[in-house]
Amino acid sequence: MSVTAARGFTASGVSAGIKDSGAPDLALVVNRGPSYAAAAVFTSNRVQAAPVRWSRRVIGDGALAAVVLNSGGANACTGPAGEDDARAMAERTARALRVEAEQVAVCSTGLIGVPLPMDRVTAGIDAAAAELSEDGGEAAAIAIKTTDSVHKTAVASGSGPDSGPRSGSGPGPGWTVGGMAKGAGMLAPGLATMLVVLTTDADVSAPTLDSALRQAVRTTFDRVDSDGCMSTNDTVLLLASGASGVRPDPAEFAEAVHGVCLDLALRLVADAEGASKEIEVRVVGAASEQDAVTVGRSIARNNLLKCALHGEDPNWGRVLSAIGTTSAVFDPDRLDVSINGVRVCRDGAAGEPRDKVDLSGRAVTVTVDLRSGDASATIWTNDLTAAYVHENSAYSS
């Protein structure tokens, strides 16, 4: 049920004609209250799309009544006209829902530099408003896809203020967190080329939402590094309706938000463009968390290693080379590397025979022990394939 798993929300997804294929391309997510608390995290790219600029402004008071999203066009690098179009999307949505435009966030995804066909967009908003329902979460998730092969949703819930979150397929007697995401390429720190909408029926204030969201994003979406590229449109929104009437423990609520974000982040990695391997880079024994993240990202962005793993070659030398480009604290003669459980490098030299490593499956785990402290971090990435190159060489054609 995605974003409508939480009570107090309706959603829809329609085909507005933005995409030439005729596939669904416009979605609405609406908070029916009684609370309208919200929080957001946006791309750290200095080149930001008009919808990001608009949404940054309207989230300032910590409240949202709705989100309008389109795929098929990013409305990025479109000049003053793009700013006008983002505002027009919010105003048209507000008119259809009888709310204020400043209560509407706008999200767009697709090709950069191409103006949106606003006549189709506005007509699509009206159509989406007419189809809003409590069962519309899946349709909304489908409508925001671009190169995604599957739509991505996740749900977690808690039974009351004194109990922790549990996985589930829909709302329980307590409170629920639901979410949807899109993204299959340009996955790198600073979020990813993704749009994410999270909802909850918990009675949670905007500051609590903001704290939970930022904690969750820092160790989930911000640690997905599929291809080292950062988007102009990344947006993660968290809206609370308060419809359950339950005010959960903040720590337990944050855990549930983290769980949904992690679920969605791993779905992004699993659906990355052209990928044949899902690679988990675990860095342990670091002097600091920042060192662990820096080393993990260097490994995840090493194209030689990504090619090797695609070819099922456990080339640990490329791991060491990536580590060596960082400023992290380590002794090169004390580095250990394991690939899928086999310690192929011990003390900075050859360990177990490489032919013991089974890389025939899709899942790959690279574990690095810096032996310099107690901190750790995990980065998720993919292999580099000919299919990725092909898909991105023809993306705008």
**pLDDT per residue as tens digits for the range 362-372:** 999 999 999 99
Does residue 246 sit in the same domain as residue 311? no
Q: How many Å apart are CA 52 and CA 39, to the nearest integer?
A: 14
**Contact (CB, 8 A) for 364 and 340:** yes
Does residue 203 sit in the same domain as residue 347? no
Does residue 114 sit in the same domain as residue 201? yes
CATH, residue 88? 3.60.70.12
- Domain closes at, from 270, 288, 310: 270
Tell me if residue 193 is catalytic: yes
**Contact (CB, 8 A) for 292 and 283:** yes
In degrees, rounded to 5, the angle at the alpha carbon of residue 28 between the alpha carbons of residues 179 and 118 is 135
Instruction: Provide the pairing of β-strand 342-346 with 336-339.
Output: antiparallel
Of the residues 193, 200, 367, 385, only one is catalytic, namely: 193
Does residue 187 sit in the same domain as residue 81? yes
Portion of the chain with pLDDT greater than 70, in percent: 91
Residue 333 DSSP one-character state: G
Does residue 244 sit in the same domain as residue 307? no
Q: How many Å apart are CA 89 and CA 157, to the nearest integer?
A: 32
- For the cut 80, the answer to whether the pLDDT of residue 272 exceeds it is no
In degrees, rounded to 5, the angle at the alpha carbon of residue 35 between the alpha carbons of residues 30 and 40 is 65
Does residue 115 sit in the same domain as residue 25? yes
Our measurement of the distance from residue 197's CA atom to the centroid of its chain's CA atoms, rounded to an integer in Å, reads 9
What's this model's pTM, rounded to 2 decimal places?
0.90
Q: How many Å apart are CA 16 and CA 23, to the nearest integer?
A: 8
- What residues form DSSP beta bridges with 195? 182, 235
Q: Compute the average pLDDT of residues 92-120.
A: 96
Mean of per-residue pLDDT scores for the chain = 91
- For the cut 80, the answer to whether the pLDDT of residue 165 exceeds it is no
Q: Which of 65-69, 271-275, 382-386 has the lowest mean pLDDT?
A: 271-275
- Domain closes at, from 270, 296, 312: 270
CATH, residue 308? 3.10.20.340
- Domain count of the chain? 2
- For the cut 60, the answer to whether the pLDDT of residue 192 exceeds it is no
| Torsion angle in degrees (nearest 10) through CA of 155, 282, 212, 199 | -20
Phi then psi dihedrals of residue 158, to 5 deg: -130, 150
Does residue 290 sit in the same domain as residue 194? no
Q: How many Å apart are CA 303 and CA 309, to the nearest integer?
A: 10
Does residue 47 sit in the same domain as residue 153? yes
Does residue 252 sit in the same domain as residue 176? yes
Put residue 98 in one of left, alpha, beta given phi > 0 → left and psi -120 to 50 → alpha. left
- Domain closes at, from 270, 289, 313: 270
**Contact (CB, 8 A) for 259 and 48:** no
Does residue 291 sit in the same domain as residue 264? no
Please tell me whether residue 51 adopts helix, strand or coil conformation.
helix
Q: Residue 128's domain spans which residues? A: 2-270
Does residue 257 sit in the same domain as residue 289? no
User: Which pLDDT tens digit goes with each residue over 214-270?
Assistant: 999 999 999 988 766 777 888 999 999 999 999 999 999 999 999 999 999 999 888
Provide the pLDDT for residue 167.
Answer: 42
**Contact (CB, 8 A) for 273 and 184:** yes
Does residue 100 sit in the same domain as residue 119? yes
Q: Which residue has the higher pLDDT, 184 or 51?
A: 51
